[in-house]
Structure 1
Amino acid sequence: MEDPFGKEHINTFKELLQTNVPAATAKIKAYLEEQDKIPLNIAITGESGSGKSTFVNAFRGLDLKDQSDAAAPTGSVETTMEVKPYPYPNFPNVTLWDLPGIGTTNFPAAKYLKHVGFERFDFFIIISADRFTENDVKLALGIQKMKKKFYFVRSMIDETMRAEEKTQSEFNAEKSLSIIKENCIDGLLKLQIESPQVFLVSSFDLHLYDFHLLTKTLERELPAHKRDTLLLAMPDVHFEIIRKKKEALKAKIKYLAFLSALTAAITVPVFSVEVDVAMLVKATDKYKKSFGLDNMSIENLALKSGLPFTDLRAVMTSNLSVVVINKELIVKQLELSGFQVTSFLMAAEEVSRLIPLIGIPAAAAISFTCTYKALEDCLNMLAEDAQRVFKKALG
């Protein structure tokens, strides 16, 4: 969904307050709600045993030993016998689809795309544990013909590199990776794949090798309204991802601040403060989940990194990261940082009540400024905690 206010993003309060305020409020609310519901469907496919299910679990930030119903089953034999969705734990609108292995007896390549219902997917990731095969190429050509995006992933590259190191007298990791990628690309070009994009990935160590390049490519090539949808759901496996998440979340603060301003203009005293604080709670909880600072995400990271849960928690300095978000916590944390949020909001209401004509725009302006700063402070605190946790877990 495009920004309903175009490039200028509503330049002044005056423009809003001079129009239909309830309609403007409804428009912003609808925009924010739809942003949280934008669907993104990612197909993970390849030959049997290529590591599809392991990649699905890693991409969703799960511990690869996870045997719960939330995890895609993994094994040395073909474990995916049907098209199965795996939503992101904190972002159910983003779904990874673990597809059956192409080329198996049950799913020959010629009928594969029709069988899995290719129309529903935004893009495909074709995975191979070694060289890309004839079936991989047939699938890619079919997807190419249907004008869908697809990307090749060489999984288990960590195992390949260990083998390379053992068999080379003068091992150079960077050179070996370059040769592997070039060979993959050359082979695909010879089989009529147009501009193949190949990424070398280890599902056990997403922060290494090419996973961050894959995420950059997806960000560049996805439609604008789906970029942030994927970004906010992805696990924090690189400092760059944390930075971009912060930017994406900050870009939405102005809409929440405008809602606060409009609420101050049309509601009765006290109710406006309650609405604003509830908004802060909801937004901060979203920030926390986006940065993977909720208990479930930290537990998964602890298992993957081999560090105790308490060690990862210990590096966080904000109270927002360590307990359930509620209005008392938000207010207390902001006050600790020197920002008296409730005092500012109450002042806005008092101005509106005492000076009816001039007071309404003034109250809206105060409410906007207060809410914007409060959200920005909460976002900065959580982004800093996310960086500390990432550094502790992955170095």
Structure 2
Amino acid sequence: MVSEEEVKEIKTALEDGDLCTATDKFLQTLKDIENAPLNIAVTGESGSGKSTFINVIRGLDDDEEEGAAKTGVTETTMEPKAYPHPQYNHVIFWDLPGIGSPTFKPNDYLEAVEFDRYDFFIILSSDRFRHNDMELAKAIQSMGKKFYFVRSKVDSDLNASQIRRKKSYNEENILNDIRNNCIKCLQEGGIQDPKVFLLSCLDLKKYDFNQMQETLEQELPSHKRHVFMLCLPNISLPVLKKKREALKKQIWMWASLSCAVAAVPLPGLSVACDVSILVTEMIKYRNAFGLDQKSLEKLANRVDKDVDELKSVIKSPIVVKEINKELAIKLLTLGVGGALMLIEYLFSTIPVFGSVAAGGISFATTYYMLYNFLKDIAEDAVRVLEKSLESPV
């Protein structure tokens, strides 16, 4: 997630002994990663499910929930409407006006919705592939932007087929037919290697949602890939695994920041830094995996279980306790972390040699603790998800 240029600048500052500059660059790089803006345009014909898609991918269970995109059987979006993610407000989903008009002109449409502001487009289509879908896809591609085609409401197609074709009904064959038809139509319109995904906004766990998030992970720039992964709803084991991997990639940066601060010969400075890092990251880990109280209550309501039943499988103490500096200090003073912190404090009082040793110890302590915090919380998230999916006895 860090560019070669950023690594070079940090390395140069450390080699020159300019610890203040190195620390500033670490902080700025981390801030850039955490706050990388991501603007996702969601478009398609009226009734294709744009607003519902925006709501569910933002983790909202109810279209009437506060902050939800307005839904309806008729077009409810007359101009681009921004819907920030509830936890990551720099990730914005844009509900664009419908494209169903017979006089639809894709180039005029893209200009009207301010085409350049979006990182990529998601085109939703339901029931069948339409001419306007292809025209819009061609226009987006010609302007050098990526788009992903989502065939929504496939659960309705399957239900209708199951009713009308009881003897020949085959879910896999029907899904393949729908997917291949969309790919064929896009290719006939001149689209090379179109990305097509089948979804049900009523249940993202089904069909192609995991394939879609994997594709976006591969194709987005590294900073934007990170924030996209964190904002995905925790609906499946693959999503939880990807979140853990994304967060793990940042640990060395936080540990390096702790190391740089520890090398400054001011007793106690690194301890304060480490406490701040641990509090910030523990809260972030808990929220990212949906283990905060509000998220657990929403999940319990969604699966019709008692929230205490979900909490019963949580083992990490930092999930069920209030995360603050007192908790972070207590954790630092336990076991290996406490011993390393004490040695670091003593070494930091010894000029030159002490500073170098303190930096290495601080790196090891911070890395060790963040790695284990993340491991424990990720494992708790898996247990909670599995518990939520259990059928009542």
TM-score normalised per structure 2: 0.91
Give 1:5-44 correspondences, 5 Å limit.
Answer: 16=14, 19-44=17-42
Tell me how far apart the structure 2 counterparts of residues 394 and 108 of structure 1 sit (CA, whole Å). 45
CA displacement at 1:380 relative to structure 2: 0.7
Cα distance change of structure 1 residues 289 and 130 upon mapping to structure 2, 3 Å threshold:
same
Query: Cα RMSD over matched residues?
Result: 2.5
1:55 to 50, 53, 56: 53
Tell me how far apart the structure 2 counterparts of residues 82 and 267 of structure 1 sit (CA, whole Å). 57
CA displacement at 1:110 relative to structure 2: 5.3
Query: Which residue matches 1:89?
Result: 86
Q: Assess if the C-alpha contact under 8 Å between 2:134 and 2:189 holds in 1.
A: yes
Q: Assess if the C-alpha contact under 8 Å between 1:123 and 1:148 holds in 2.
A: yes
Cα distance change of structure 1 residues 87 and 307 upon mapping to structure 2, 3 Å threshold:
same
Cα distance change of structure 1 residues 5 and 327 upon mapping to structure 2, 3 Å threshold:
farther
CA displacement at 1:239 relative to structure 2: 1.5
Equivalent AA in structure 1 for residue 271 of structure 2: V
SS of the equivalent of 1:86 reads strand
1:144 and 2:149 are equivalent in the alignment? no
Q: Assess if the C-alpha contact under 8 Å between 1:127 and 1:153 holds in 2.
A: yes
Tell me how far apart the structure 2 counterparts of residues 5 and 254 of structure 1 sit (CA, whole Å). 17
Query: For each residue in 1:250-283, what CA deviation from the matched residue of structure 2 results, as whole angstroms up to 9, or x when unmatched?
Result: 1111111111112112152223212211111001
Equivalent AA in structure 1 for residue 359 of structure 2: A
Tell me how far apart the structure 2 counterparts of residues 279 and 208 of structure 1 sit (CA, whole Å). 37
SS of the equivalent of 2:348 reads helix
Query: Which residue matches 2:327?
Result: 329
Q: Assess if the C-alpha contact under 8 Å between 1:270 and 1:346 holds in 2.
A: no
Query: Which residue matches 2:362?
Result: 367
Tell me how far apart the structure 2 counterparts of residues 388 and 333 of structure 1 sit (CA, whole Å). 23
2:343 to 318, 341, 347: 347
Equivalent AA in structure 2 for residue 173 of structure 1: E
Q: Assess if the C-alpha contact under 8 Å between 1:320 and 1:333 holds in 2.
A: no
SS of the equivalent of 2:124 reads strand
Query: For each residue in 1:91-129, what CA deviation from the matched residue of structure 2 results, as whole angstroms up to 9, or x when unmatched?
Result: 111111011111248976452111111110011000012
Tell me how far apart the structure 1 counterparts of residues 101 and 26 of structure 2 sit (CA, whole Å). 49
Q: Assess if the C-alpha contact under 8 Å between 1:155 and 1:203 holds in 2.
A: yes
Tell me how far apart the structure 2 counterparts of residues 271 and 7 of structure 1 sit (CA, whole Å). 24
CA displacement at 1:204 relative to structure 2: 1.5
TM-score normalised per structure 1: 0.91
CA displacement at 1:44 relative to structure 2: 0.4
Q: Please, which runs of 5 or more residues in structure 2 have no aligned partner?
A: none
Equivalent AA in structure 1 for residue 227 of structure 2: T
CA displacement at 1:5 relative to structure 2: 6.2
Q: Assess if the C-alpha contact under 8 Å between 2:80 and 2:94 holds in 1.
A: yes
Tell me how far apart the structure 1 counterparts of residues 157 and 8 of structure 2 sit (CA, whole Å). 50
Q: Please, which runs of 5 or more residues in structure 1 have no aligned partner?
A: none
Report how many residues are paired: 389
Query: Which residue matches 1:294?
Result: 292
Moved more, 254-263 or 338-347: 338-347
Query: Which residue matches 1:277?
Result: 275
Cα distance change of structure 1 residues 209 and 332 upon mapping to structure 2, 3 Å threshold:
farther
CA displacement at 1:339 relative to structure 2: 3.1
Q: Assess if the C-alpha contact under 8 Å between 2:161 and 2:169 holds in 1.
A: yes
Tell me how far apart the structure 2 counterparts of residues 34 and 40 of structure 1 sit (CA, whole Å). 12
SS of the equivalent of 2:69 reads coil
CA displacement at 1:89 relative to structure 2: 1.0
SS of the equivalent of 1:102 reads coil
1:392 and 2:377 are equivalent in the alignment? no
